[in-house]
Structures are given as C-alpha cells and as structure tokens.
Amino acid sequence: MKAVARLMKMTEVVKIDILNPDMGEISRAAKLIRAGEVIAFPTETVYGLGADAFNAAAVDKIFLAKGRPAHDPLIVHIASVDQLASVTVKIPDFVQRLGNHFWPGPLTLVVQRNPALPGNVTAELDTVAVRVPQHAVALALIKASQTAIAAPSANLFSGVSPTSAEHVFQDLNGRIPLILDGGSTTIGVESTVLDCTIWPPKVLRPGGISVEALRTFLGDVDVFQKNKDVVTFVKSPGMLDKHYSPSAHLYFCLSTLPEHYQPYFEQLIENKLRAGKKVGAIIVNEDEAWFASHFSSIEIISLGSILHLEQVASHLYAALREMDARGVDYILAHDFGGEGVGLAIRDRLMRAAFEVGCCEGG
C-alpha cells in the first residue's frame, strides 16, 4: 500500500537561486534526507538523486525510484576533502592531493570503503566512489544534511541523464517527494571516475575533468578501454553497454571529419525518409549551412561550435531528450575527438548508440 501511495503523489519542484540559495528550503530538503527520503538536486554535472549514504533503507529507495540494478554502485557526495575520512579507511597521499586540487569539481575518486557505509551504496564492493560537487545547492544540501549523500543521476535507469529539473520531473514525477530546481547544469556530462586503489590510477569513466588534466597533475594515469582495438569495438556494436540512451535509435559516426560523416548521414537520411521515418540530426553550428542546403524535412539541433566542446557537452543530453520529445525515429550524431571533454562525449554517444559507423574515419 505504501509503495502505491508514494507513486500517486505529485513531486514538488522548488526553485532555488544558485547564487543565493534560500537556506529555509535547503534545510527543509536536508530534513527529508535525514528522515530517510530520496530527493533530486542539481550538481555541476547532471542532477543527482540523493539519499543519506549511511542509511541503507534510504539508499534502497534510490535503486527503487530509478529502477537501477543493485549491482551498479553509487557515487557518494561529500562537502569537503575533510569529510573523506568518514567514507574511507585509508587516504593515500596522492588521493589527498587530488582532492585538494580538483575538488569541488567533476572528479570522482574510487578509494577503500569505510565498513561503516552500508553495502548497498557500493554494490557490496570494498571500494567506494566519492566526490565533492562544485555547486552551491549541492554543497549547501550536503552540509545541512550533516551526512554524506549517495547519488546517481536522477533519471530512469539506462536513460539519458537529466541536466534540468524538468528532465528529472519527466522521469521521476510521483516517485520522489522533492526536486530542488537550480536551472540547467553547466558541465552537462557526468564526472570522471578515477580508480585510486591502484597505481597508476585508472580512468574508469571519462567525464568533466580531462585525462590530460589528470596526467599533468599526476604524471601517470591509465585509461580503461573495454577493447584496446577501437576498430574491433566499433565493428561489434552488440558489445556496447547500453546506457545514456534516448528512445529513438542513435546512429553515431565515429569521425570528426565532415568528409566522412556527411556522406554517411546523407545515405542514412535518404533511406530513412524513403521508409517514411522521422529523422533528427545533432550537429554543430559549423554544419548548419550544409544541413540546411541538403535536407528540408529533418529535425536539427545544434549543440554549439566545434571549437567549444564544453558548450557541446553541456547541450548534449538536452538535445537527445528534445529529439525524443519531437518524436523522431532516428538520431544522427558524429564524434568530437578524443581530447578534453570530447572523450566523455564520445563515451556517452558510443553507449547511447544503436549503431556505430564510419570506423575508417579519423
């Protein structure tokens, strides 16, 4: 009966001024966290779905609200480097230095788990992923809650992560009591996850802090590659982990070069339109003229300039959701290179993709 009642009630959305957060609203939200509830809040990467990391029953509610499988561990959010000691047992010197340098910010560090944390937070692993978000609302909420907050992205499992309170509401209305609305997130892709239980540390998921920045700081950093040979990987789209996916089928051209992706798109668009399907293309400003002169009946969303990958990243998830809202059957997108945040964009598009093409491209 209780679960049904939770689903019936509409989720409250409270606007918060991120420059000057209303501490009354923050403290009301913190009381919900302390009472074992799950609420959504903005971070600089994507919106998080948070619960008291030290309350196993509250953490269970995150998995329930998202439909997330229990084997997928959560990131624990803390308010400062000093709070690291509450979630881990051992803080290597380089972890302390990484925290001092990159926090608050979109870098998640995997460290030894403090056994005081309930096992469901980390999917029973003896390690825990932890970060300090760079967002006034997130930080104020964690401090006011006087605990650490376990939080995955505030979307339904395997879907596109939310970069606005509206996105969270679309996915989770009726499943959680409250969304703190801090407007659109700035970075727009998730944090970089760095395994610090080994040396050299290894990037498990590219994200808001670039591999280059980590290498400059640490000297030696590995990057996890599911398959070292990217061509074989691309030729076997079935091996891709399905994640971050819109409802429409995404065709991802793994090339940054217009001379590769334009003919690939052209052929696809002609085929799909001939079959009576609706097509959308996620492009950059520099390609607007080419698309406008070649196609009149497809949906186009420009993510910004190819010269500003931060802009592209911050608009990516909203564009994928908008294509679904426009009812397209197919979405086309291309690669933005493997440097800086381009690597995170590529990772997300690879996982979102129904098919990856142009493997001979650059």
Q: Which residues bind ligand AMP (CB under 6 A)?
A: 73-75, 110, 122, 125, 127-129, 152-153, 190, 193, 204-205
Nearer to ligand AMP, 129 or 211 (CB): 129
**Smallest distance, Å, CB 311 to ligand AMP?**
21
Nearer to Mg ion, 158 or 184 (CB): 158
- Alpha-carbon span 362 to 360, nearest angstrom: 7
All residues at 6 or more sequence positions from 188 whose CB lies less than 8 Å from its CB, including other chains: 45, 46, 163, 313, 314, 315, 316, 317, 318
Contacted by 73, from ligand AMP, Mg ion, none: CB < 5 to 8 Å by type: ligand AMP
Contacted by 234, from ligand AMP, Mg ion, none: CB < 5 to 8 Å by type: none
**Smallest distance, Å, CB 253 to ligand AMP?**
25
Q: How many CB atoms lie within 10 A of CB 8?
A: 7
**Smallest distance, Å, CB 148 to Mg ion?**
18
**Smallest distance, Å, CB 127 to ligand AMP?**
4
Contacted by 314, from ligand AMP, Mg ion, none: CB < 5 to 8 Å by type: none
Nearer to ligand AMP, 43 or 255 (CB): 43
Distance of CA 307 to the CA centre of its chain: 22
**Smallest distance, Å, CB 84 to ligand AMP?**
14
Which is nearest to 127 in space by CA: 90, 169, 163, 77?
90
Looking at residue 21, its amino acid is P
Nearer to ligand AMP, 119 or 258 (CB): 119
Contacted by 98, from ligand AMP, Mg ion, none: CB < 5 to 8 Å by type: none
Residue 14 pairs in a beta bridge with: 180
Question: What does the binding site for Mg ion look like in residue numbers (CB under 5 A)?
Answer: 153
CA distances from 161 to 66, 70, 152, 318 (A): 11, 18, 10, 9
Nearer to ligand AMP, 86 or 127 (CB): 127
Contacted by 84, from Mg ion, ligand AMP, none: CB < 5 to 8 Å by type: none
Place of tokens 């994640």: 243
**Smallest distance, Å, CB 190 to ligand AMP?**
5
**Smallest distance, Å, CB 191 to ligand AMP?**
7
Nearer to ligand AMP, 127 or 285 (CB): 127
- Alpha-carbon span 149 to 168, nearest angstrom: 18
For 324, list phi and psi in degrees, rounded to 5. Answer: -60, -45
Q: Where are the alpha helices (DSSP H) in 67-196?
A: 84-87, 93-102, 136-145, 165-172
Kindly state the DSSP code that residue 354 receives in the 8-state scheme. S
**Smallest distance, Å, CB 282 to ligand AMP?**
21
Nearer to ligand AMP, 99 or 152 (CB): 152
Contacted by 110, from ligand AMP, Mg ion, none: CB < 5 to 8 Å by type: ligand AMP
Contacted by 193, from ligand AMP, Mg ion, none: CB < 5 to 8 Å by type: ligand AMP
Nearer to ligand AMP, 125 or 273 (CB): 125
Contacted by 311, from ligand AMP, Mg ion, none: CB < 5 to 8 Å by type: none
Kindly state the DSSP code that residue 260 receives in the 8-state scheme. H
**Smallest distance, Å, CB 39 to ligand AMP?**
16
Nearer to ligand AMP, 75 or 323 (CB): 75
Contacted by 95, from Mg ion, ligand AMP, none: CB < 5 to 8 Å by type: none
- Alpha-carbon span 291 to 283, nearest angstrom: 9
Residue 67 Ramachandran class (φ > 0 left, ψ -120 to 50 alpha, else beta): left
For 225, list phi and psi in degrees, rounded to 5. Answer: -125, 125
All residues at 6 or more sequence positions from 176 whose CB lies less than 8 Å from its CB, including other chains: 11, 37, 38, 39, 40, 49, 65
